[in-house]
Structure 1
Amino acid sequence: MSRRRIGFWYRLAAAIAKPPLVLLFKRDWRGMENIPADGGFITAVNHNSALDPLSYGHFQYNTGRVPRLLAKATLFDVFFVGMMLRGTGQIPVFRESTDAANAFRAAVDAVNRGECVAFYPEATLTRDPDLWPMVGKTGVARVAMMTKAPVIPVAQWGANDALPPYGKLHLFPRKTLKVIAGPPVDLSAYYGLDPTPDVLREVTDVIMAAISTHLSELRGKPAPAVRFDPRKQKGISK
């Protein structure tokens, strides 16, 4: 299979989500040409609002390459939400799993079948005070090294103006949802290396740097030299 068909459930989700997105938000989309037309690939996306999955999803849907996102397994137990997640082929993540390779096996299989798998490497809303991407978790690096598929960095900005992290919804005045997809991250230097924790961390840092570079372009300001690490803030060592 070279690419996943959009299918009924994704079209239903789009029919529900797109009209209010089009009505309530302006759009500034860039880099659609960097989304592969065929074959499996990975997108790595920053996370600064509970609304940004809709912003990114709208952008990605309009490229014709629908994403499969990794979602907390507990969400699949919520009746309507779970039905939509299963119908659109999203991937449950069992965070209690002690085997990282097995935890991401479904993602590897999907990429190898020619699908797009989307990662939020931060795994939660950013805690950075200025909403820059935090230090990422290594799942995206693990899948990238196992598949050698293109990794497309995606930066987004604007959903946070409507719904800040842990804040209240502010739809007016009308906000602009900005999304940019960059060219594939060059990870060729890491292929063939053992996926040790240090190597996975370095690959993750390269991916997060690419996301930050494109977010800097969207925001018109330089990204911080050092990414926010919530573990250090809590006094937890790596």
Structure 2
Amino acid sequence: MPVARPESRAFRAVAWLVRTLLFAIFRYEWSGGRNLPAQGGFIAAANHATELDALTFAHYLFDHGYEPRILAKRGLFTAPVVGWVLRATNMIPVDRGTADAGRSLENAREQLGAGACVAIFPEGTITRDPDLWPMEGKTGLARIALATRMPVVPIAQWGATAALPRYGRMLRPFPRKRVQVVAGPPVDLSDLYDRPMDSATLREATSRVMDAITELLAGLRGEPAPAARFDLRKHPEYAARRTVYPPVERP
């Protein structure tokens, strides 16, 4: 497996430290690496259930030979440990709900054009689904994918919540936890490229990516996914809450 060799000394130092720590905490089961493009820029899109996901996501890509540039909310860049890692490895901060949000997407498009791997959590935040299934995604990924026409590779990961639960504050590194990560074939969005980039087109592209991620996750978990994804627009009371939510009615 071709581990990435970044030119930046800071990136190399962070990568060595983070990889060492993660290998000590997790027993990885990686698969689907053949679905990652051999050359050229691409978008990697994954589910998000714990703050550790950014590290396990990046680790998977890095050890497959890529230097991922993760789009992450700016608040994470000031968090202990994780924030330091994100800053030192030149990840892309996203200012959600502000005039600067578009600047982050433009940054991502420029890096894709230069052949980078841009890694995105399409949900935009940790899932609020009571059972940690992917919830409805935001359309930022669709805007980038349709504008650049770069491949979008769905990635599912599962197991890191055993070490750090959703919004948990206490890391449980021992014994080592099993973490599965799998990449699927690129999502076909080609029929949407020439359509107007309106709400319907963006939602369709987003849904296709989320469907692919959810299908991969169902395979990892060995259980069927819910018939409908959790949607914060229908449950706004959960938008700012950091807790374990009661089950919600699903169609």
User: What TM-score, normalized by structure 1, do the two folds share?
Assistant: 0.89
Distance 1:100 1:192 in 2: 24
Work out the number of aligned pairs and report it.
Answer: 234
The answer as to 2:36 corresponding to 1:35 is: yes
Cα distance, 1:235 vs structure 2: 6.8
Secondary structure of the corresponding residue to residue 182 of structure 2 = strand
- Correspondences of 1:38-77 after superposition (within 5 Å): 38-76=39-77
Number of the residue aligned with 2:166: 165
Q: Would you tell me which structure has more helix in proportion to its own residues?
A: 1
RMSD: 2.4
Distance 2:57 2:18 in 1: 12
Number of the residue aligned with 1:208: 210
Task: Give the 3 Å change call, closer, same or farther, for CA 121–90 of structure 1 in structure 2.
Answer: same
Secondary structure of the corresponding residue to residue 207 of structure 1 = helix
Cα distance, 1:6 vs structure 2: 5.2
Number of the residue aligned with 1:138: 139
Number of the residue aligned with 2:186: 184
> Does the CA contact (< 8 Å) of 1:4 and 1:115 recur in 2?
no
> Does the CA contact (< 8 Å) of 2:72 and 2:120 recur in 1?
no
Distance 2:139 2:203 in 1: 6
Deviation per CA, 1:49-98, whole angstroms, max 9, x where unpaired?
A: 11111111111110111110112335556798666534422112222434
- Correspondences of 1:1-238 after superposition (within 5 Å): 5=6, 7-76=8-77, 84-98=85-99, 101-167=102-168, 168-234=170-236
Secondary structure of the corresponding residue to residue 217 of structure 2 = helix
Secondary structure of the corresponding residue to residue 66 of structure 1 = coil
> Does the CA contact (< 8 Å) of 1:162 and 1:169 recur in 2?
yes
> Does the CA contact (< 8 Å) of 2:33 and 2:183 recur in 1?
yes
Distance 2:207 2:219 in 1: 18
> Does the CA contact (< 8 Å) of 2:52 and 2:164 recur in 1?
yes
> Does the CA contact (< 8 Å) of 1:140 and 1:204 recur in 2?
yes
> Does the CA contact (< 8 Å) of 1:97 and 1:103 recur in 2?
no
Distance 1:82 1:175 in 2: 23
Distance 1:169 1:99 in 2: 33
Q: Which moved more, 1:162-171 or 1:186-195?
A: 162-171
Secondary structure of the corresponding residue to residue 234 of structure 2 = helix
Q: Which moved more, 1:165-174 or 1:37-46?
A: 165-174
Distance 2:101 2:79 in 1: 25
Counterpart code for 1:150: P
Task: Give the 3 Å change call, closer, same or farther, for CA 196–72 of structure 1 in structure 2.
Answer: same
Distance 1:6 1:208 in 2: 33
> Does the CA contact (< 8 Å) of 1:6 and 1:66 recur in 2?
no
Cα distance, 1:185 vs structure 2: 0.4
Identity of aligned residues (%): 48
Structure 1: runs of 5+ lacking an equivalent: none
> Does the CA contact (< 8 Å) of 1:9 and 1:84 recur in 2?
no
> Does the CA contact (< 8 Å) of 2:163 and 2:177 recur in 1?
yes
User: What TM-score, normalized by structure 2, do the two folds share?
Assistant: 0.85
Task: Give the 3 Å change call, closer, same or farther, for CA 18–139 of structure 1 in structure 2.
Answer: same
Distance 1:202 1:4 in 2: 36
Cα distance, 1:220 vs structure 2: 0.7
Secondary structure of the corresponding residue to residue 11 of structure 2 = helix
Distance 1:201 1:219 in 2: 26
